[in-house]
A and B are shown apart, each in its own frame.
Chain A
Amino acid sequence: MRACLVCQNVDCKTRGSEQLMVELQKRVAAKGLTDVEVKPYMCFGACQEGPNIVIYPEKSWYAGVKTQDLDEITDHLAGGPNVQRLDTIDSSLKELIYQLLDTGIF
């Protein structure tokens, strides 16, 4: 099972991450992606650049996601290409968060 984690901390929420998560769940279901679970995550620590979405275990991080980006992200989840323009997060933060996810806390 792959996880598509959508940050639900204060900043991301005020930028609409709740609606993004619901919308993404609908699109993933509509595409029949049964191996993907779209779910909330407490925080990735990139508050200024949210809403943030991390796909695990493949470790893709999309920042500043808007509703109009969701089709491309769904395509990626279905095996399509990475959405390069949303991959803007600093590598040291990525490393910190990916190590945390590797411990199983999600």
Chain B
Amino acid sequence: MKGILFPQGVVEAREGLKEYLARGGYQALTKAVKSTPEEVIKIVSEAGLRGRGGAGFPTGKKWAFTRECSEQPHYLVLNGGEDEPGSKKDRMLMEFLPHLVIEGVILSAYAIGAAEAYLYINANYAEATKSITDALTEAKNAGYWGQNVLGSKFNLDIKLVPAPHNYVAGEDTAAIEVIEGKKAWPRQKPPFPVTVGLFGKPTAVNNVETLANVAPIILHDADWYRKFGTPDSRGTMIFSLNDDVNRPGIYELPFGTPLRYLIEECGGGIKGGKKIKAIMPAAPSSAFLPLDKIDTPLDHNSMREAGSGLGCGVVRLIGEGTCIVEEVLKISEFFTVESCGQCPACRMETNTLTALLKKVQQGQGGAPILEQFSKVLAFNKGKGFCNLIAMPGPPIESALKLFPADFEAHLATGKCPAN
């Protein structure tokens, strides 16, 4: 399917400068430096671009907050930490469309008034890092960044920083800490990075896919972009499918496309021809959806109404015959391991949930064990510096609600009903 970022569908080959220029590359930048940063922010706001890193925050608003801060200098951070298990969209964008990403970085820096941009890229992404590094050289030689970009007064320096490969390192403020040379520990918020970010200065941290959308928006205009997607979710989103479908890969689809289309037409359905038991539209931190929600449109509002979320688009399928208790235990163990440990409440919550799930799994739960999950989650709500503390809740609570029989079978027999 033709998209905005991949106009000919996802092509797994690196697009060099020549090819990028041939399809209108860097024309958005040429246009932007002749207008004002405020105009760029206005177009991106009118286009309705929302962050693709998971939170869906309006990008134009983030930029306006940053730009309006009188404190100087301002910084831009491209967040390519991508530590969500199963997500590969940012890697593929950086690897195959490096100039689209870089043009987005330059436009964003121009908009927020930054003279320095940091590209924070997952340290395991050797190919993507090389592709971006090579593209940066090509772009600099062509005058797209550096001193007096395209003859304007806009100066921009771009630096690369490897991102540690652990889950919280992809969090905005953890990225900032790493760039400052510290441990990948999220900061307490507020203040948010838009006011107090990198080196204590106003900073916009944007996901790779988010910034890849900027050049097409500026090049074509906001009205063109608004033709894709739904009123609350404009444009397209890249979804990652993994080994649980017949055709794993990334798929760029307009927001509002039915979930069924992604699973069946793009992914070729669940592997092994099993019946789908549950769908996780934003693994691993979203609520499970039952099969009867398979026609839910892939947009923020519809997913929320269905009881789940879009996150960064890693869609997982759970097949009939798979035990949900085992699945949520794996998820809970993941968050327990990935909790950075600086907030006591997060350690308490993740460890307790995992301990409770292990008791259920082994059929050893005394007292009314299934009632304890929501109490532990409620007790710790909002007590962490970052959002990790909120992540085990949706999968665990939705699993308890949708598949109580799996929990009861474990408690009754100590054995997994799937085996």
Residues of A whose CB lies within 8 Å of any CB of B are 9-11, 42-45, 47, 93, 96, 99-100, 102-105
Contacts and interface: CB of A to CB of B under 8 A. Distances in A.
B348 A45 contact: yes
Contact of A42 (B352, B366, B367, B380): B352
Given A10-B341, A99-B372, A105-B359, A43 B348 contact: yes
Contacts of A99: 367, 371-372, 375
B372 A42 contact: no
19 contacts: A9-B347, A10-B341, A10-B342, A10-B344, A10-B347, A42-B355, A43-B348, A44-B348, A45-B348, A45-B379, A96-B379, A99-B367, A100-B352, A100-B356, A100-B376, A102-B367, A103-B365, A103-B367, A104-B365
Contacts of A43: 344, 347-348, 351-352
Contact of A103 (B348, B351, B369): B369
Contacts of B343: 10
A10 B339 CA distance: 13
Interface of B: 341-345, 347-348, 351-352, 355-356, 359, 364-367, 369, 371-372, 375-376, 379-380
Contact of A47 (B345, B356, B367): B345
Contacts of A44: 348
Given A9-B348, A100-B352, 7 more contacts: A9-B344, A10-B343, A44-B348, A47-B345, A96-B376, A96-B379, A103-B372
A90 to B, nearest CB: 12
B178 to A, nearest CB: 21
Nearest to A92: B379
Given A9-B347, A42-B347, A45-B345, A96 B375 contact: yes
In order of increasing CB-CB distance, the 4 nearest A-B pairs are: A43-B348, A102-B367, A105-B355, A42-B351
B329 to A, nearest CB: 14
Nearest to B365: A103
B349 to A, nearest CB: 9
Nearest to A11: B344
Contacts of B345: 45, 47
Contacts of A100: 352, 356, 372, 376
A88 B360 CA distance: 32
Given A10-B342, A11-B344, A47-B345, A104 B359 contact: yes
Contacts of B342: 10
Nearest to A100: B372
Contacts of A102: 366-367
Contacts of B355: 42, 105
Given A99-B372, A99-B375, A104 B348 contact: no
Contacts of B352: 42-43, 100, 105
A10 B369 CA distance: 26
Nearest to A93: B379
Contacts of A10: 341-344, 347
B366 A104 contact: yes
A28 B364 CA distance: 29
B356 A103 contact: yes
A15 to B, nearest CB: 12
A104 B355 CA distance: 9
A100 B372 CA distance: 7
B375 A103 contact: no
A10 B384 CA distance: 13
Contacts of A96: 375-376, 379
A3 to B, nearest CB: 14
A43 B349 CA distance: 9
B363 to A, nearest CB: 11
Contacts of A93: 379
